[in-house]
Amino acid sequence: MAKARAKPQEKQKQTKKVENHGERKLTEAQIAVHWKEEEYFQPSAKFIGQANLIDPAMVEKFSEKHFPECFREYAELLHWDQYWHTTLDTSEPPFWKWFVGGKLNACYNCVDRHLEKHKNKAALIFVPEPELESATVITYQELYRRVNEVAAMLRDFAKLKTGDRVTIHMPMIPELPITMLACARLGVVHSVVFGGFSGEACGMRAADSGSRVLIYADGYFRNGKWVDHKGSADIAVQTAEKEGQHIDKVLVWRRHSGKYNSESPMIMKRDYFVDEILKDYRGHIVEPVSMDAEAPLFLMYTSGTTGKPKGCQHRTGGYLAYVTGTSQYYQDIHPSDVYWCMADIGWITGHSYIVYGPMALAATSVLYEGVPQFPDAGRPWRIAERLDVNIFHTSPTAIRMLRKAGGDEPKKYNYHFKHMTTVGEPIEPEVWKWYHQVVGKGEAVIVDTWWQTETGGFLCTTKPALDPMKPGSAGPAALGIYPVIWDENGNEVTAGSGNAGNICIRNPWPGIMQTIWGDPQRFVNQYYKKYNKHPHSKDWRDWPYYAADGAVLPADGYYRILGRVDDVINVAGHRLGTKELESACLTISEIAEAAVVPVVDEVKGRVPEVYVSLKPGIPPSKAVQDKIMSTIETMIGKIARPKKIHMVPDMPKTRSGKIMRRVLAAISNNLDTGDITTLANPDIVAQIRELVQGRGVGPLKDGPEDIKRFGEET
């Protein structure tokens, strides 16, 4: 495919001119961001010829004058038991209601309705990590049977009712989506906790959601090793009990049916092997419960600016409509495609774009158990070749890793992607080009999709057949999404100004979360307070959604996302709250203060570094360092392991005693700390720099925007 220097729809020339802001002092958010303008790449004629989103009139159809009715287009992709009477109800901002009066079942939409045309088609293809274990194919017919049996077990054995919550802490095995769909069939709200989180992290989430049933797996393969997972259930139960939540039952799936592989003993009358219990439910059929469009479908906990993760509550109708519509148009899924999203179902990407969106479209979805580079960096391409995958979806971290470990590997395999996605972090143009030329063999169209756990589905992305691609930029807004960039004072940062600001979405959309589970006030404060001028207004225009990401917008209308502007660190595309790590450190008796900052990492994007000061009289030691590492692993999980731990004599502080995390982030990344004269203890900065970087501090660098702005809000 030839790359061309074409221009996207708005044929304006990029102006590098910085807006005239008069006498007003520029805030951090407006600091000019310089990067080389990238050339555009065109989708191939072959892709365009078969694409779902090919009608340019769709852009007009989803324009503001057709909002909110434009979203009928997405909802009509679903089967409704009862049609809705009101597309968007704004009577209680910002608690929007979508497709009010409508009734549907998410499981029915993802499974039952496909039986007529696709019952013998593969729904899921499970690829175990050990390469000698062969793939398992589950057809829609078999999925239907299995989901029904599990639903019967959840209802009749675990006594779960519509509206109950259940916490699922499972690895990437087919029983995970089967369990989720069984919950959806009953209207039971699932809360899936990423398998790599610790038992304690799972227990905290189970307690917050009020789950009395936990669903586990005994273990799984990862990076060539068997991971014993069931032990984490015991910790989760204890943690939940400590938090006041009793767990009645732990249902344990066995990775190899009939063979238990864990050191952790089964506890009588609490722990049950699912494969044994299921024998009593063989052939049972459970009528899907017809749910209100607004009934919650699931919770997904994510990190924010406080120590406690928040349960993002997603609704049934709006969410399912949004992920189905975006899977159809941006993932370009047809029932004949073999689609592989390498994300983990334990994150929102897996929920929206492995399970609900693709399955609502009767896709064949590949589920891979392990790490991409096991046993070598050719593995993903062997899987793609063998299963004839033609749509591929992954994160910049995985792309960087595969490029580093085996940049020429894709060339050895005879697979052909028509479409590829990148998601979760900003992607460097060089990495994008490798993805395009080597992984995509210059044939595949790429969508760089920007969105969040909270948003349910894509917010910015190119329309694959209609828009040219631009490496490093997510692209224009998705259909029906109207973004804006504001500075800290609410002044619009205009397209082509060259300045960065806070990206917000001016309007509601069906995929947006309903609320934070059990904490509606936090929902309002976190996402809407910042730019809301009229707290009593019932007009959606007064309630823009604050995404907490920095962004720039050149004149071509392609948003480039710069990263988080709050206390969240995006590690390998996974969200970690710095406050969560700090709270973990503060449980250690020797530690007086803790601060966590992001550090640029070549492969993972960002990784956390920990600064601690010890209580008087306690000398720094390897023992304390080890304690910090193991506490973080126990309380959060291995994914939160800090790159380095620095034990410092004191923290840089303002006169009011606030730790200046921004100064620490500058030191860790070898950047200029800026003005430190207003600190209560400016001398400490040089001491810490020497401790961290040694005496020979090199020339200071210019850093990425999210690092420069880190800690600004606290």
H or E element at residue 596 = strand 591-601
Token pair of 635 as six digits: 């309380």
Which is nearer to ligand PRX, 347 or 545 (by Cβ)?
A: 347
Shortest separation between residue 431's beta carbon and ligand PRX, angstroms: 12
Give the Cα separation of 644 and 623 in Å (integer).
14
The shares of helix, strand and coil residues in the chain, as percent rounded to the nearest 5, are 30, 25, 45
Q: Which is nearer to ligand PRX, 569 or 651 (CB)?
A: 569
Query: What number of helices (H) and strands (E) belong to the chain?
Result: 22, 30
Integer Cα distance of 328 and 314 in angstroms: 20
Assigned token pair, 591: 């530690």
Least Cβ distance, residue 575 to ligand PRX (angstroms)? 4
CB 349 → ligand PRX: shortest distance, Å? 5
Nearest to ligand PRX of 53, 427 (CB atom):
427
The 8-class DSSP code of residue 638 comes to G
495 vs 565, which CB is nearer to ligand PRX? 565
Spatial distance between the Cα atoms of 166 and 254, rounded to a whole number of angstroms: 19
CB of 313 to ligand PRX, least distance (A): 14
Quote the CA–CA distance of 649 and 358 in Å, as a whole number: 53
- Scan for tokens 């005239």, then name that residue: 20
Residue 279 beta carbon to ligand PRX: minimum distance, rounded to whole angstroms:
38
CA distance 708 to 702: 9
Taking the complex as a whole, the smallest distance from the CB of residue 399 to ligand PRX amounts, in Å, to 12
Nearer to ligand PRX, 254 or 575 (CB): 575
Rounded least distance, CB 517 to ligand PRX, Å:
16
**Judged by CB, which is closer to ligand PRX: 449, or 668?**
449
Contact 146, 178 (CB under 8 A): yes
Nearer to ligand PRX, 313 or 449 (CB): 449
Query: Shortest Cβ distance from residue 422 to ligand PRX (Å)?
Result: 6
User: Which residue number is nearest to ligand PRX in terms of Cβ?
Assistant: 453
Closer residue to ligand PRX, CB minimum distance, 68 or 598: 598
Query: Residue 492, SS3?
Result: strand
Does the N-terminal peptide bond of residue 68 adopt cis geometry, omega within 30 degrees of 0? yes
Pick 232 or 453: Cβ nearer ligand PRX: 453
Amino acid identity, residue 227?
V
Least Cβ distance, residue 571 to ligand PRX (angstroms): 10
CB of 347 to ligand PRX, least distance (A): 6
Residue numbers at the binding site for ligand PRX (CB under 6 A) = 302, 347-349, 423-426, 448-453, 474, 549, 561, 563-564, 570, 575
Nearer to ligand PRX, 188 or 348 (CB): 348
Give CA separation, 505 vs 523, 527, 680, 682, in Å.
Answer: 15, 10, 39, 39
426 upstream amide cis, omega within 30 of 0: no
| Closest distance to ligand PRX from the beta carbon of 458 (Å) | 8
Tokens of 278: 């299921």
The nearest distance, CB 449 to ligand PRX, in angstroms, is: 5
Tell the smallest beta-carbon distance from residue 714 to ligand PRX (Å): 17
139 or 462, CB closer to ligand PRX? 462
Nearer to ligand PRX, 478 or 663 (CB): 478
| Nearest of 458, 436, 437 to residue 511 by alpha carbon | 458
Question: How far apart are the C-alpha atoms of 558 and 560, rounded to whole Å?
Answer: 6
Assign 3-class secondary structure to 509-522.
Answer: CCCCCCEECCCHHH
DSSP string, 563-578: EESSSEEEETTEEEEH
* Locus of tokens 């020797």: 590
Q: Could you tell me how far CA 386 lies from the centroid of its own chain?
A: 28
The rounded radius of gyration (Å) of the Cα atoms in the chain is 25
**What angle in degrees, to the nearest 10, is found between the helix axes of 175-186 and 140-156?**
60
For ligand PRX, the closer CB: 426 or 496: 426
